[in-house]
Amino acid sequence: MPYLALGAVAFHACFLITRALQVHGLPIETRLDSVALFLWLTAAVFVVAEGPFRLGGIRVVFWPLFALCAIGMGILSGRVPMDRPTLGRTWLLLHLIPVYAGYAGFAVATGAGVTRLIQQRLLRGKRPEALWARLPSLAKLDQIGRVAVSLGFPLFTAGLAAGAIWAQRDSGLLGRAWYSDPKVIAGFAGWLIYAAVAHIRLAGKMSPNRAAILTIAGFLVALATFGVSHAYPGRTAPFSAPSGISSKT
Amino acid sequence: MTTPRTIQVVGLSHHTAPVEVREALAFPRARLPEALASMRAAEGVEEVVILSTCNRVEVYVCARSAQGDALAKSLLRNFHGLTAGSFEHHLYTQEGMDAVAHLFRVAAGLDSMVLGETQITAQVKAAYELAAAERTVGRVFHRLFQHSLSAAKRVRTCSGIDSGRASVGSVAVQLAQRIFETLTDRTVLLIGAGQIGEVVLRSLRTAGARTTLVANRTFSRADALARECGGSAVHFDQLLANLARADIVISSTDAPHYAIRRCDVEDALRARRGRSLFLIDIAVPRDIEPSAAELAGCYLYNVDDLQMVVEETISRRKRELNLCLATVDEETEKFMRWARGLEVAPTVAELRDSLHEVKRQELNALLSKYPDLPASARGEIERTANRLVNKILHLPIKALQEPASDDHG
């Protein structure tokens, strides 16, 4: 049982609850809040899935990768306030939570992909048993990658669709030409990458090793779209979440 | 005064006897109850356990007789119908603390042919359980054998003595599991009829591999082996056509040239659409072109690669040995403390009874002189006398239970 990780997730949850009490609602007042929620969701997905999906072996790769992403995203986001939505918070939840869960799946698939590359290198390089015996099998890592993507991609798609409907219904949110917003385009680009990764992984036509490399590359590009969404001061939340969340602008 | 109990072990192992002697002295499982009963019936013998495996035959005896070892030797001789002097020089005898430490080392796999192997713990447990079922185990051996199992567990927990794989077959299985996770739905192709190849094939089948193909230049040989392991034989000229069907290939032919070239592996991988191929080349000279290892999805190991993993495991286990032996010493000391306590228990009880009797007589004499003493005062005097006796008893009992260290063994 990953007690340390479980403790960290619980500690992080306390922070989110404190913020939720401060803002009287979902703690996404600032981009840092939003990133904190995303990171918590990713960590929680991993900790919950670790037992049933036997992810224990990729822990050693996942958590350092997660820590790096968390530091990077924390530095990038800052305490930039977000706008108030004119539609209800239900739409916000319908959009944000699936998108974040989709990205969490992508992150787990990336962790499995990185572990696969390491494991393959160890096995082919005839490295000491103490190293390769501790990591999961290549077949298990491929399975984790496939399952994470096949669960994450529909969630991500549903989240983006909810965001699009939200933007369409609330014309004040991003304007009538909401689809030309740079953050929406970046989000759509992220979806295209995710779609390509999901297609290739699930179709099984590419070698598992190349599929792992593609997953990692896809996740990095998707992270870049996150960076793009922050480069343009606008109203959308990270990962192309429609904007207007803060009550204090 | 009764003769004190002595724990003794008489036996032989792969350290002291060749396989033909071990075979001659091994107890068939079905005849063990008879052997246990026969040994238990000997005069002075209180408890018996017989451990009989392919690498050792040991008779553990707890007896109120100094002749426990002679009785065990006589059992071995008579039971197997051997003549005196034909096997005794292969035997070792340990007594007291040495016998206990020996059992703890055996149960933890520290005396095994493959250092740190875990199968012996199960064998010790089975020997103890059989003896318990046959009622040849009493208080001492219940405690001793249960302690040996928990000590074995502690030795393994405290060290990495059982980590890693210590045979070529188990390394092959471990590697296959790190590539394919489970072997249940995997196909194994054995090429040639080398002995190590067969050993590796058996290990893979034990780990779950169900489908087996056997290819040999002599088809009848391939057919015989395939029948033996429930697989199917493949004509040698159809070998390359079957390469893509196999997930794991074990090659051990005596061909002077490569039986499988890089382009053959390349074709097989293409046909397998990216699925991994695990090649184990046990042949010398090698059967599989070494450059095939460069192909994506191909995991090629030769006999040296597998042997290197085995040696790495063995040397790591040897490094852990001193730590394990220190743990065994601690556990042996714990058991001996308990055993000494058991041995002096009747003396302690006798001492306690006699002092309390003196106390009772003195109290009666005292209280009869003061018949008008209130009950509370009488009670207080009795409690004080009890405390006094217990304090007087404390030091001698402690001295009895913990004799000086030079008395051990």
Mark B293-308 as b/e (b = at least 16 C-beta within 10 Å). bebebbbbbbbebbeb
Mutation site for B-interface testing, chosen from A116, A137, A143, A206 by largest number of B Cβ within 10 Å: A137
Q: Cα dihedral angle (B223, B228, B232, B238), rounded to 10 degrees?
A: -40
Q: What residues in A contact B304, CB-CB < 8 Å?
A: none
Q: Does B308 touch chain A (CB under 8 A)?
A: yes
Rounded to whole angstroms, how far apart are CA atoms B392 and A149? Answer: 77
Q: How confident is the model at residue A130, as a pLDDT?
A: 74
Q: How many domains does chain A have?
A: 1
Q: How confident is the model at residue A248, as a pLDDT?
A: 32
Q: How confident is the model at residue A80, as a pLDDT?
A: 63
Min Cα distance A158 → chain B (Å) is 32
Q: Does B165 touch chain A (CB under 8 A)?
A: yes
CATH number of B168-310: 3.40.50.720
Q: Does B374 touch chain A (CB under 8 A)?
A: no
State pLDDT tens for residues B132-159.
999 999 999 999 999 999 999 999 998 8
Decide if A9 is inside a domain.
Answer: no
Identify which of B163, B178, B274 has the shortest CB distance to residue A208. Answer: B274
Q: How confident is the model at residue B387, as a pLDDT?
A: 93
Decide if A115 is inside a domain.
Answer: yes
Active-site residue numbers of B?
54
**In degrees, to the nearest 5, what angle opens at C-alpha B29 toward C-alphas B27 and B32?**
65
Decide if A245 is inside a domain.
Answer: no
pLDDT (mean) for B166-179: 87
Mutation site for A-interface testing, chosen from B178, B272, B313, B315 by largest number of A Cβ within 10 Å: B178
Averages of pLDDT over runs of 10 residues in chain A (249 residues) are: 80 87 77 80 82 72 80 71 58 81 86 90 84 86 90 91 79 62 76 86 80 88 70 48 35
Query: Are B313 and A139 inside 8 Å of each other by CB?
Result: no
Identify which of B178, B296, B309 has the shortest CB distance to residue A207. Answer: B296
Q: How confident is the model at residue B300, as a pLDDT?
A: 94
Rounded to whole angstroms, how far apart are CA atoms A201 and A195? Answer: 10
Question: Mean pLDDT score of chain B, rounded to an integer?
Answer: 88
Query: Are B316 and A130 inside 8 Å of each other by CB?
Result: yes
Query: Are A209 and B177 inside 8 Å of each other by CB?
Result: no
Is the per-residue pLDDT at B244 higher than 80?
A: yes
Q: How confident is the model at residue B103, as a pLDDT?
A: 97
Rounded to whole angstroms, how far apart are CA atoms A140 and A146? Answer: 10
Decide if A202 is inside a domain.
Answer: yes
Lowest-pLDDT choice from A80-89, B194-203, B319-328: A80-89
Query: Are A130 and B164 inside 8 Å of each other by CB?
Result: yes
Decide if A14 is inside a domain.
Answer: no
Q: How confident is the model at residue A100, as a pLDDT?
A: 83
Decide if A241 is inside a domain.
Answer: no
pLDDT (mean) for B242-255: 90
CATH 3.30.460.30 assigned to B6-158: yes
Query: Are A139 and B180 inside 8 Å of each other by CB?
Result: yes
Q: Which pLDDT band, with edges at 50, 70 and 90, does B408 fall under?
A: very low
Q: How confident is the model at residue A129, as a pLDDT?
A: 75
Residue of B nearest to A119 (CA): B178
Rounded to whole angstroms, how far apart are CA atoms B24 and B52? Answer: 11
State pLDDT tens for residues B53-107.
888 999 999 998 777 788 888 888 988 888 888 888 999 999 999 999 999 999 9
Q: How confident is the model at residue A170, as a pLDDT?
A: 67
Residue of B nearest to A126 (CA): B305
A/B interface, count of CB pairs below 8 Å: 57
Q: What residues in B contact A127, CB-CB < 8 Å?
A: none
Pairing of strands B45-52, B56-63: antiparallel
What pTM did the predictor assign?
0.66
Query: Are A133 and B174 inside 8 Å of each other by CB?
Result: yes
Query: Are B179 and A123 inside 8 Å of each other by CB?
Result: yes
Q: What ipTM did this prediction achieve?
A: 0.72
Other residues' Cβ atoms within 10 Å of the Cβ of residue A169: 11
Decide if A16 is inside a domain.
Answer: no
Is the per-residue pLDDT at B221 higher than 80?
A: yes
Identify which of B165, B274, B299 has the shortest CB distance to residue A124. Answer: B299
Strands in B155-264 per DSSP E:
187-192, 211-216, 232-235, 248-252
Mutation site for B-interface testing, chosen from A54, A58, A129 by largest number of B Cβ within 10 Å: A129
Share of chain B above pLDDT 70, in %: 97
Q: Does B271 touch chain A (CB under 8 A)?
A: no
Decide if A179 is inside a domain.
Answer: yes
Q: Does B181 touch chain A (CB under 8 A)?
A: yes
Mutation site for A-interface testing, chosen from B177, B276, B281 by largest number of A Cβ within 10 Å: B276
Supply the range of the domain harboring residue A73: 28-231
Q: Does B272 touch chain A (CB under 8 A)?
A: no
Rounded to whole angstroms, how far apart are CA atoms B12 and A2? Answer: 46
Q: How confident is the model at residue B162, as a pLDDT?
A: 81
State pLDDT tens for residues B259-301.
899 999 999 999 988 789 999 998 888 899 999 999 989 999 9
DSSP for chain A, please give it: --HHHHHHHHHHHHHHHHHHHHHTSSS-SBHHHHHHHHHHHHHHHHHHHHTTTT-GGGHHHHHHHHHHHHHHHHHHHTT-B-PPPSS-HHHHHHHHHHHHHHHHHHHHHHHHHHHHHHHHHHHHTT--HHHHTTSPPHHHHHHHHHHHHHHHHHHHHHHHHHHHHHHHH-HHHH-TTGGGSHHHHHHHHHHHHHHHHHHHHHHT-S-HHHHHHHHHHHHHHHHHHHHHHHHS-SSPBTTTB-S---S--
Strand partners, B49: B60
Query: Are A130 and B163 inside 8 Å of each other by CB?
Result: yes
